[in-house]
Amino acid sequence: MKEKILISGAGIAGLTLKNLLERLNYDVYLCEKEDTLRTQGAGLLLGANVLKIFRQMGLEEQILQKAQVIDAFITTDAKGKELDTVDFKQIYAKTSYRSVGIHRQELHQILFANMQHTNLLFDHELTNFAQDDKSYIVAFKNGKQKRFDHLISSEGIFSQCREKIYGKTELRATSQVCWRFVIDAPQNFERSSGYEMWGDQKRVGILPLGTDKLYCYLVATQKGGEEKLSYQEVLQLFESFEGRYGQLKETLLHISPKILYNVLADTQEITLQSEGIVFVGDSGHATTPNLGQGAAMAIESAYTFYTLLQKHKFSLAAQFYEQTRLKKVQKIKERSMLVGKFSHLRSKLLQKIRNIFMQFIPSAITQKEFEKLILDGEIK
Ligand SMILES: Cc1cc2nc3c(=O)[nH]c(=O)nc-3n(C[C@H](O)[C@H](O)[C@H](O)COP(=O)(O)OP(=O)(O)OC[C@H]3O[C@@H](n4cnc5c(N)ncnc54)[C@H](O)[C@@H]3O)c2cc1C
């Protein structure tokens, strides 16, 4: 009889895992606390490291059909003066992998459409588990209980499995809040580059997505009460931004998109495996979104665990997984936190020095640094 694996949480990590692990000789179950596939979400930047994995999974074409190819990601000041550019076309020329902007919902749907629709447990929130000598007895909020040989947590930043082992999740706050929304791109809006504009303790991001959409994110240093602001009040906060954002202001004033609001945070600790349970995605290595690598790390981790499970028994694969992934997820997590701080310096003088410094670093250096960061992982 095949061993049974339960993957808990049908986000990007869980859906990628189900896709991959059902190619192996296991019975793979996926449980999700919601009663349907999550549709809420905004945009995601997926870099060459992710497209490489999607090619190996046979999903690259479907992703490219629903996504917008991004040739460059440009950082500017609040007036639109260029500070730094990462040239994704160069990465494409070297690796043959594109970087894209995609709506989270499209990514979820592609992953869902390409997996078997058996052993799916919606409306099954894992609330507890007990381990006997051979297996896990998992309890769900709906009152059901099931037995599995192995357990993988892909439950996001507030993983129940992690809380059961280590207690309440300690978040590492950034004191930054973020409003995100997706809009129809105005006609003739140039859509081959992503932008992030750095102002005075505020920044604005614009990322073109597939099907003529634009993903906008507005980040501000937390002062208190931001969660109560209306859409128009949020726009007021970013009124001083010009350049790329300036081209959108008129459009933004006359629409009322659905807004997602978050306080940006990650977790203090990284947990890749514990008590035989494997942690993939934000449940094990939540990262701030400043490098646009959270989903990428989830997909990379899922793929790494899959390749290890091709060669080893589950428990050994879990140990190798921890050894293989720790360095990279740690590096991304710390760098992402640092970029967040650097982009919201409090002192206006330091902001000026930072901007001058960034303009004078040759772009070849930042390009090389970025390539090393995202492509020098264990997935060759
Ligand atoms: C503002 C913001 C912008 C971002 N931008 C980017 C970007 O541009 N590029 C990028 O790569 N990443 C980005 N990220 C990060 C990315 O969104 C996350 O890293 C990614 O969604 C993690 O996926 P996941 O599957 O691990 O977790 P999640 O997406 O959180 O999914 C977890 C799933 O588990 C389910 N669940 C939770 N608990 C249970 C339970 N007990 N039982 C059953 N089911 C459960 C949830 O309902 C959910 O469906 C961003 C994040 C934020 C906050």
Q: What is the pLDDT of residues 50-90, one digit of tens each?
A: 999 999 999 999 999 999 999 999 999 999 999 999 999 99
SS3 category, 49: helix
pLDDT one-digit tens code per residue, 296-329: 999 999 999 999 999 999 999 999 999 999 999 9
Q: What is the pLDDT of residue 339?
A: 92
List the one residue out of 283, 309, 315 whose CA is nearest residue 10: 283
> Average pLDDT, whole number, for the chain?
95
pLDDT of residue 361: 85
Query: Are residues 104 and 42 in contact, defined by beta-carbon separation less than 8 angstroms?
Result: yes
Name all residues whose Cβ lies below 6 A of ligand 1.
Answer: 8-14, 31-34, 38, 44-45, 125-126, 154-156, 160, 178, 180, 262, 281-283, 289, 292-296, 298
Confidence of residue 14 (pLDDT cuts 50, 70, 90): very high
Ligand 1 probe mutation, 17, 20, 33, most atoms within 8 A of CB: 33
State the first-to-last Cα distance of the chain, in angstroms, to the nearest integer. 34
pLDDT of amino acid 372: 87
CB-CB neighbours of 130 under 10 Å: 11
Q: Whose CA is nearest to atom 9 of ligand 1?
A: 292
Residue 357 corresponds to which tokens in the numbers above?
A: 């410094």
How confident is residue 379, by pLDDT bands cut at 50, 70 and 90?
very low
pLDDT at 64: 98
| CATH number, residue 94 | 3.50.50.60
Range 279-289 average pLDDT: 97
Lowest mean pLDDT among 92-96, 292-296, 341-345, 372-376: 372-376
Distance between CA atoms of residues 252 and 187, nearest Å: 14
Residue 78 lies in a domain: yes
H or E segment and range at residue 43 = strand 43-46
Structure tokens at 309: 């499970």
Assign 369 a pLDDT band (cuts: 50, 70, 90): confident
Q: Tell me, what amino acid is at 77?
A: D
Domains in the chain: how many in total? 1
Is 187 contained in some domain?
no
What is the CA(363)–ligand 1 centre distance, in A?
Answer: 32
Rg (CA), the chain: 21
In the three-class reduction of DSSP (H, G, I as helix; E, B as strand; rest coil), residue 227 is classed as: helix
The proportion of the chain whose per-residue pLDDT surpasses 90, expressed as a percent, equals 89
Residue 132 sits in which domain range? 3-171+265-375
> 316: helix, coil or strand?
helix
How much is the pTM?
0.95
Task: Report how far ligand 1's centroid is from the alpha carbon of 188 (Å).
Answer: 32
- Structural domain contains residue 232: no
Site of tokens 């040239």 = 87
3-state secondary structure of 180: strand
| Span 147-169, average pLDDT | 96
Express as a percent the part of the chain with pLDDT over 70: 99
What pLDDT is attached to residue 374? Answer: 87
> Is residue 233 scored above 90 in pLDDT?
yes
pLDDT of residue 378: 43
Query: How far is Cα 23 from Cα 21, in angstroms, rounded to an integer?
Result: 5
What integer pLDDT is reported at residue 170 of this predicted model? 87
Residue 246 lies in a domain: no
219, part of any domain: no
Q: For residue 126, how many C-alpha atoms fall within 13 Å in the half-sphere facing its CB?
A: 31
Tell me whether residue 348 is in a domain: yes
pLDDT band at 49 (very low <50, low <70, confident <90, very high): very high
Domain assignment of residue 42, yes or no: yes
> Does the residue 361 lie in any domain?
yes
Arithmetic mean of pLDDT, 364-378? 80
The CB-side HSE value for 29 (13 A sphere, CA atoms) comes to: 20
The H-or-E segment that residue 82 falls in is strand 82-87
Which mutation among 12, 164, 270 tests ligand 1's pocket best, with the greatest number of atoms within 8 A of CB? 12
Q: Give residue-wise pLDDT tens across range 168-210.
A: 988 998 999 999 999 999 998 999 999 999 999 999 999 999 9
Residue 380 confidence (pLDDT): 46
Sheet holding 82-87, edge to edge: 82-87, 72-77, 193-198, 202-209, 213-221, 171-184, 260-267
Beta carbons within 10 angstroms of residue 322's beta carbon: 18
